[in-house]
Chains A and B, each alone.
Chain A
């Protein structure tokens, strides 16, 4: 983008050197290795626990590599009096970051967007008719943001809902895929997310094979979208199995 000639009105144009994001050449190389040594199509090992918060009706803690999230569920409890009457239950989601979650102190600014995305992915899975007139509050706290935050929050939230005894159609598993040049990378780390060309996130109900939310950002070609969706759905079903075994283990030992 060359700067305009002297006769043009003085508009702000970014200087040429800062226009192209300087991507490390290793990302465009065909056989580079991911920062944590994983395969392109390999997800991070998941650590999941329920019953982390005693004060809440249900709670769960999830650790996927460096991304650590804790979710607590309160409810079903009385809706605020200002709300209108509804004969189905209501879901209220809130995602917040701790100040020490990112390398630079200070909040990541997409809080409201993450909350509404969490709401959309969970409301398709919860049977709202079973608790009319009441509200279920979901509070998610991201303790450390190591990339791929929203999918981890969604999976952890559905585990917490199952722990709280809220009736659901199925557990919700979420996985996201990043497109880096020609490569598709699953479960990206925050470094990879910064340089991505596009991202695709799917939240699905694994054993019923239904998708509750699909989010695509960036530039994608149609065959790449198909490939990414298949990768995600496959990873979601595996994640679903891990979540179920975690639930069964924690309930049979308690």
Chain B
């Protein structure tokens, strides 16, 4: 059980937080490169100390700086993002990343979902048009930074996939199974790679 103690005073970038022998730098702090071995802050915010877990060999507390202003998050490999599909092509779909975790981004980032990353089974038999349509909101995870143009996203897990979609008639569809969604206005069933939401 880790309790972090947050201090009242603000620190600014370049301020000394402690010695490298007493503290491990966490997020918002760094260890200096010279031989003085001091931990400096790299953000403006409040200092917070996390005591080490009792069974780890290194008993130094971790010092972090919690930024005062939550600036827009940036997608990182391993995080779950919410994206809106913009284009669906034969072997990939491109999507605009709108939220990282639970925070919305200030300006959108581009991502692509390749055919082999749509689901975990039978990945070569995936038809992109029965998995996504333009305008769908999907929950995906970032596999890698990708290339200069887009992040690589994957929906190959049960909880990932289409979260909300509109039918051709214009109504918000209700998920029936992990491959189908139904429109409440017309009763039409459309195919999507649906995310498993809830317990």
A231 part of interface (Cβ distance < 8 Å): no
What does the 1/0 interface line of A61-90 toward B look like (CB < 8 Å)? 000000000000000111101011101000
Are A162 and B12 in contact (CB-based, < 8 A)?
yes
Q: Does B68 contact A (CB under 8 A)?
A: yes
B residues adjacent to A (C-beta < 8 A):
9-10, 12-16, 28, 30, 32, 40, 42-45, 67-72, 74, 106-110, 145, 147-149
* Residue in A85, A205, A247 whose CB lies within 8 Å of B148: A85
Minimal beta-carbon separation of B25 from chain A (angstroms):
11
Sample (11) of A-B pairs whose CB atoms are under 8 Å apart: A85-B147, A127-B42, A132-B145, A163-B44, A164-B69, A170-B13, A171-B12, A207-B40, A208-B14, A243-B12, A251-B44
Contacts of B145 in A (CB 8 A): 87, 132-133
Do residues A81 and B148 form an inter-chain contact, with CB atoms below 8 A?
yes
Q: Which residues of B contact A163 (CB under 8 A)?
A: 44, 69
Are A57's CB and B72's CB within 8 A?
yes
Q: Give the contacting residue for B13; candidates A84, A87, A162, A251; CB below 8 A.
A: A162
Q: Contacts of B69 on A, CB cut-off 8 Å?
A: 58, 163-165, 251
Contacts of A83 in B (CB 8 A): 148
Contact B10–A247 (Cβ < 8 Å): yes
Q: Is A169 an interface residue (CB 8 A)?
A: yes
A252 near B: Cβ within 8 Å?
Answer: yes
Known: A57-B71, A127-B30, A247-B44. A79 touches B148 (CB 8 A): yes
Interface majority SS (helix, strand, loop, mixed), chain B: loop
Contacts of A205 in B (CB 8 A): 14
Q: Are B68 and A76 in contact (CB under 8 A)?
A: no
CB-nearest residue of chain A relative to B46? A251
Most buried by A among B30, B69, B108: B69
Please report the C-alpha to C-alpha distance between residue A218 and residue B32 in the assembled complex, in whole angstroms.
36
B71 pairs with A208, CB closer than 8 A: no
Q: Are B67 and A169 in contact (CB under 8 A)?
A: no
Kindly identify which residue among A77, A132, A165 contacts B43, using a CB–CB cutoff of 8 Å: A165
Chain A stretch 204-222: residues in CB contact (< 8 A) with chain B: 205-208
Q: Which residues of B contact A134 (CB under 8 A)?
A: 74
Chain A binding surface SS class: loop
- Residues of B close to A240: CB separation below 8 A: 14
Asked if residues B109 and A78 are in contact (CB atoms below 8 Å), the reply is: yes
Set of chain A residues within 8 Å of B147, measured between Cβ atoms:
85
Q: Are A165 and B44 in contact (CB under 8 A)?
A: yes
Is residue A131 within 8 Å, beta carbon to beta carbon, of the partner chain?
yes
Q: How far is the CA of A169 from the CA of B32 in the complex (A)?
A: 9
A254 contacts the other chain (Cβ, under 8 Å)? yes
A-B contacts besides A162-B12, A170-B14, A247-B12, 5 pairs, CB < 8 Å: A58-B71, A132-B145, A166-B71, A171-B14, A254-B68
Tell me how far the C-beta of A62 lies from the nearest C-beta in chain B, rounded to whole angstroms.
Answer: 16
- Are A207 and B10 also in contact (CB < 8 A) when A78-B110, A79-B148 are? no
Instruction: Assess the A78–B107 pair: CB atoms within 8 A.
Output: yes
A244 at the interface (CB under 8 A from B): yes
Q: Which residue of B lies closest to A246 (CB)?
A: B12
CB distance from B7 to the nearest CB of A (A): 12
Contacts A133-B145, A247-B10, A247-B44; A164 near B109 (Cβ below 8 A): no
- When distances are taken between beta carbons in the complex, the residues of chain A under 8 Å from B107 are 77-78
Q: Is A168 an interface residue, CB under 8 A from the partner?
A: yes
List of A residues within 8 angstroms of B16 by Cβ: 207
- The minimal Cβ–Cβ distance linking A236 to chain B, given in whole angstroms, is 12
Partner of A207, one of B15, B44, B106: B15
Does A244 lie within 8 Å of B71, measured CB to CB?
Answer: no
A23 interface residue (CB < 8 Å to B): no
A157-195: contact bitstring with B at CB < 8 Å (1 yes, 0 no)? 000001111111111000000000000000000000000
Cα–Cα, bound, A85→B148 (Å): 4
Q: Which residue of B lies closest to A245 (CB)?
A: B12
How far, in whole Å, are A170 and B17 apart by their CA atoms in the complex? 13
